[in-house]
Amino acid sequence: MSAPSEVRTAAPRGGRTRSKSWLATVPLLAFVVLIFGVPLVIILGGTFKREGAFSAANITESVQGAYLTAMIGSVKLSALVAVVGALLGTFLAQAVVTSRFRMLREAVLTASGVLSNFGGIPLAFAWIATLGNSGVITSALGLDSVGWSLYNFWGLALVYLYFSVPLMVVVVVPALDGLRPQWREAAQNNGANTWQYWRHVGIPVLTPTLLGGVVLLFGGAFAAYATAAAMVGGTVPLVTLQIANALSGNVLIGHENVALALSLDMIIVAGLVMAVYLPLQRRSARWLR
């Protein structure tokens, strides 16, 4: 019976189990490399290949003309949605957090969790039924006679906010909960008014969370495809729509790899944005514990 002593000595560092246990991570890592890594490598390789030869033509084409317009359109839309969504989401979260009604808080938090996942095709159709050309509200208020249209840049922003604001609420409520009442009391005892408290205590503590939320919202709006495809088709220039277009074969012969170049552009933008997010999240965890 040497088993117990063996386990005891093995416990702190794993010992004998370690030699075998790395095998358990192999399937996951192999899967990710094969299913996720290979397409990424193909994107990278295909971007720099035209008609069988190494070439930078795809990448230059992807940052010119209509493709450039689409990229700018996507970034503008995502930035607008991210900033407005973060502001509105924070105000809504603050209103809920400071409310005395527990039920209200629970209801808003649950609804936010659900609505932040509400995207894609159903979201587009819900808004088309509401404010589209023959939507319920459009006809009830006679908006079509004043030139209202949902199928443009601003309409998309309005619809994207529908999942962005709840996402911001979900992100920022824990941070608002983490603002300790003692900090406010301490500030007040030192003679600070509300504005000064927020200016010097509240906002600085919340900043990493708020910026992190902006980044998250940007990423969500930037990657969104289904909602835009169902709502505006091709009338609003967006990079996701251009990629889908190019993938469906709507490009010049021999220019098929432009879709891959556009994808690479998108990954670079999304990667830069995410690179900002991760350190921020670590910083926000420092105060709010």
Partner 1 sequence: MAALTPEGPMAPLTPPAMTVADGPTAPTGQGRRRRIRVWRGVILAIAAVYFLVPLLASFMFTVKAPEQDFSLDAYGQIFTTEGFGQSLLLSIGLGVATIVVVLLLTLPAMLAVRLSMPKLKPVLEVVCTLPLVVPPITFVAGINTVLQFGPDYLASTPFYQTIFAIQDENFPVVLVLAYVILALPFVYRALDAGLGAIDVRTLVEAARNLGASWPHLIFRVIVPNLRSSLASASFLTLALVLGEFTIASLLHFQTFPVWIYTISGSQAQVSVAVSVFSLLITWLLLLALSSAGARQRSGS
Interface with partner 1 in residues 42-101 (CB under 8 A): 42-43, 46, 88, 91-92, 95-100
CB of 9 to partner 1, least distance (A): 12
**Residue 107 binds partner 1 (CB under 8 A):** no
Residue 245 interacting with partner 1 (CB under 8 A): no
Exactly one of 9, 17, 152, 250 binds partner 1 (CB under 8 A); that residue is: 17
Smallest distance, partner 1 to C-beta of residue 56, A: 18
191: left (phi over 0), alpha (psi -120 to 50) or beta: left
Which window, 51-59, 60-68, 134-142, 145-153, contacts partner 1 (CB under 8 A)? 134-142
Q: Which of residues 143-182 bind partner 1 (CB under 8 A)?
A: 161-163, 165-167, 170-171, 174-181
User: Distance (Å, rounded) from C-alpha 30 to C-alpha 21?
Assistant: 15
**Which residues have C-beta within 8 Å of that of residue 232, sequence separation ≥ 6?**
151, 152, 155, 156, 238, 241
Which residue, 82 or 161, has its beta carbon nearer to partner 1? 161
Minimum separation from the CB atom of position 60 to partner 1 (A): 18
Total residue count of the chain as it appears in this document: 289
Per the listing, tokens 């003679």 go with 191
Does the protein bind partner 1 through residue 188 (CB under 8 A)?
Answer: yes
Q: Which of 128, 150, 206, 210 binds partner 1 (CB under 8 A)?
A: 128
Q: Does 247 sit near partner 1 (CB under 8 A)?
A: yes
The answer to whether residues 264 and 243 touch, using CB atoms and an 8 Å cutoff, is: no
**C-alpha span between 54 and 51 (Å, rounded):** 8
Inter-residue contact 181 to 98 (CB < 8 Å): no
Q: Which of 1, 5, 24, 147 binds partner 1 (CB under 8 A)?
A: 24
Size of interface with partner 1, in residues (CB under 8 A): 117
In angstroms, the Cα distances linking 170 to 57, 84, 106, 152, 211 are 43, 16, 12, 28, 14
Beta carbon of residue 153, minimum distance to partner 1 (angstroms, whole number) = 19
